[in-house]
């Protein structure tokens, strides 16, 4: 016998001694206990008359007995037949809504491996972690919007997925939408191009505004798209006014996104802004150790120390190097990866990067990073939004490739070697005093290496 029926039988015994036999037979014994919900015992009465008579004559006695035999129950709710039908319909509807929302959440393609438990916390990311955890535990209540920025491969996407996975598990009724800014832009363009524009616009707005949690990854890619910024501004406002949680990531602080509209900068800076820094040695080592544990790799501990010392760019490259070591060990049939494979892997990685890396690839990455056209970067435009990325691109090429300066100059519209020297030296000097520029250059070079 389940707990509810057992406790209810005790209540029946009590009531049989407190009311007349007729009242007991008509009003008490015919009650059906259903469930305990929010500290209330739900009971079904056989008729409306029985319910009314029970409430009129015996409610106090019944409630007193229920409190005595049901732990943490402080009230009773009695439903007559028509209310019973509606009650079950409401339960079914709520279950269907939760089921539908779980399906929608699954379509968001949240990576189940990216959780708070699998995120390694160190000095470089401890404040981001704390803020993200707080948002996940209290969506829409604190730190809204939460804006996270940092270089490539440092864990921004992991944090977004961790927030989504936590909310999906603990608040299954909440509607979660995780997208990249590229997907947001594509959805908006498709809505504009649709034949039935009114229906398409409504579908687009319903998708992005009928949610409880909106997470946008890499928002910097809408920074020079005027109409997309306009649509996102209205989406942001609608959600914010309804206390819906918004979480955004970017590669830079809003104030350093030069082509981002001021009103969006204002919205972004109105919440909490946190940055993720490059992990220090201890954090890099902890990341490798966690990866080894999660994947059940067999590897010498000194290899992890070696990798943590050598790879200081970003987490993506760090884990990629570990995978390379494990792959080399497996290929030659060794049960345990050692320093021999580690040294070979790093030598192989550096050689492959040098062989595959070209001026064209670096230019492509710089254009993507700064969201500018290739023809503008290598052309003759003199505006600040183009000149600085152009100089950074020349600097990156001189750092990453061993090429004659005249060859580099030719890639930029036939410039001579003195122009390349000027650009290289100018960026080197600015990096000593301009922290934002230094971060951009370091992140860019890390991106070039990781994408190569």
Say if residues 141 and 167 touch (Cβ distance below 8 Å).
no
Q: How far apart are CA 58 and CA 54, in angstroms?
A: 5
Please report the pLDDT score of residue 28 as a whole number.
Answer: 92
pLDDT in tens, the chain (452 residues): 468 888 999 999 999 999 999 889 989 999 999 888 888 999 999 899 889 999 999 999 999 999 999 988 999 999 988 888 788 777 766 665 555 445 444 445 788 889 999 999 988 899 999 999 999 999 988 899 999 998 888 899 999 999 999 999 999 889 999 998 888 888 888 888 776 667 767 888 888 988 999 999 989 888 778 888 999 999 999 999 999 999 999 988 888 787 788 888 888 988 999 998 888 889 999 999 998 988 889 998 998 998 888 887 788 888 888 988 888 888 888 889 888 888 887 776 655 555 568 899 899 989 988 888 889 999 888 888 899 999 999 999 988 887 888 889 889 988 888 899 999 999 999 988 887 888 888 888 877 876 65
Q: How far apart are CA 133 and CA 123, in angstroms?
A: 16
DSSP state of 279: P
Residue-level pLDDT at 89: 75
Fold classification of 359-451 is Chromosomal Replication Initiator Protein Dnaa; Chain: A; (1.10.1750)
pTM assigned to the model: 0.59
Which pLDDT score is estimated for 450? 67
Answer whether 168's CB lies under 8 Å from 110's CB: yes
Alpha-carbon span 133 to 159, nearest angstrom: 9
Alpha-carbon torsion, ordered 372, 373, 374, 377, to 10 deg: -50
Q: Which long-range contacts (CB under 8 A, 24 or more apart) does 365-371 make?
A: 365/444, 365/447, 365/448, 365/451, 366/392, 366/393, 366/396, 366/444, 369/251, 369/440, 369/443, 369/444, 369/447, 371/220, 371/221, 371/223, 371/224, 371/259
Q: How far apart are CA 428 and CA 440, in angstroms?
A: 13
pLDDT value for 104: 46
CA distance 126 to 134: 12
Neighbours of 387 (CB within 10 A): 14
**Phi and psi (nearest 5°) for 19?**
-125, 165
Report the topology of domain 281-356.
Answer: Helicase, Ruva Protein; domain 3 (1.10.8)
- Per the listing, tokens 């990453």 go with 400
Packing angle, helices 435-451 and 359-370, rounded to 10 = 130
For 291-327, b where at least 16 C-beta lie within 10 A, e where not — what string? bbeeeebebbeebbbbbbebbebbbbbbbbbbebbbe
Output the pLDDT for position 177.
92
Residue reference for tokens 């966690």: 290
Third-level CATH fold of 126-276? Rossmann fold (3.40.50)
Q: Hey, what CATH topology would domain 3-86 get? A: GMP Synthetase; Chain A, domain 3 (3.30.300)
User: What are the φ/ψ torsions at residue 298 (nearest 5 degrees)?
Assistant: -105, 105
- The stretches of 311-400 forming alpha helices (DSSP H) are 315-331, 339-356, 359-370, 374-378, 384-400
How far CA 141 is from CA of 107, 138, 158, 264, 361, in Å, comes to 25, 5, 22, 21, 44
- What is the domain partition of the chain in residue ranges? 3-86, 126-276, 281-356, 359-451
Q: Which residues contact 325 (CB under 8 A, 6 or more apart)?
A: 299, 303, 307, 337, 341, 342, 345
Cis amide linkage into residue 145, ω under 30° from 0? yes
Angle at 319 between CA 313 and CA 322, to 5 degrees: 115
């Amino acid at each position: 016998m389940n707990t509810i029926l057992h406790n209810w039988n005790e209540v029946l015994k009590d009531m049989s001694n407190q009311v007349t036999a007729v009242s007991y037979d008509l009003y008490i014994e015919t009650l059906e206990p259903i469930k305990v919900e929010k500290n209330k015992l739900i009971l079904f009465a056989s008729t409306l008359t029985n319910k009314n008579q029970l409430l009129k004559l015996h409610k106090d006695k019944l409630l007193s007995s229920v409190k005595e035999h049901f732990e943490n129950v402080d009230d009773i709710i009695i439903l007559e037949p028509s209310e019973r039908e509606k009650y079950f319909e409401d339960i079914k509807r709520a279950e269907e809504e939760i089921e539908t929302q779980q399906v929608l959440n699954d379509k968001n393609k949240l990576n189940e491996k990216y959780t708070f438990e699998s995120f390694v916390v160190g000095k470089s990311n401890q404040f981001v972690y704390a803020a993200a955890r707080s948002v996940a535990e209290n969506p829409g209540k604190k730190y809204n919007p939460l804006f996270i920025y940092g270089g490539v491969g440092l864990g921004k996407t992991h944090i977004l997925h961790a927030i989504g996975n936590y909310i999906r598990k603990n608040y299954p009724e909440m509607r979660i939408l995780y997208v990249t800014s590229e997907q947001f832009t594509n959805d908006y363009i498709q809505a504009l191009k649709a034949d039935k524009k009114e229906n398409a616009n409504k579908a687009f707005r319903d998708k992005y505004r009928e949610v409880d949690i909106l997470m946008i990854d890499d928002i910097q890619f809408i920074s020079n798209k005027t109409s997309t910024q306009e649509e996102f501004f209205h989406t942001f406002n609608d959600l914010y006014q309804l206390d819906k949680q918004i979480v955004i990531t970017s590669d830079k602080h809003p104030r350093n996104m030069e082509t981002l509209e001021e009103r969006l900068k204002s919205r972004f800076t109105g919440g909490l802004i946190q940055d993720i820094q490059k992990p220090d040695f201890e954090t890099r080592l902890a990341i490798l150790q966690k990866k080894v544990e999660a994947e059940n790799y067999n590897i010498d501990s000194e290899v992890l120390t070696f990798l943590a010392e050598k790879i200081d760019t970003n987490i993506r490259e760090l884990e990629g190097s570990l995978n390379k070591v494990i792959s080399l060990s497996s290929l030659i049939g060794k049960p345990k990866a050692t320093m021999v494979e580690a040294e070979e892997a790093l030598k192989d990685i550096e050689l492959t990067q040098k062989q595959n890396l070209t001026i064209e690839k670096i230019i492509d990455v710089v254009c993507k990073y700064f969201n500018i056209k290739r023809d503008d970067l290598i052309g003759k435009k003199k505006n600040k939004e183009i000149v600085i990325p152009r100089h950074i691109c020349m600097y990156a090429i001189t750092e990453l490739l061993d090429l004659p300066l005249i060859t580099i100059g030719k890639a930029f519209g036939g410039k001579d070697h003195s122009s390349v020297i000027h650009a290289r030296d100018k960026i080197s000097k600015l990096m000593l005093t301009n922290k934002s520029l230094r971060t951009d250059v370091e992140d860019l070079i890390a991106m070039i290496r990781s994408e190569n």
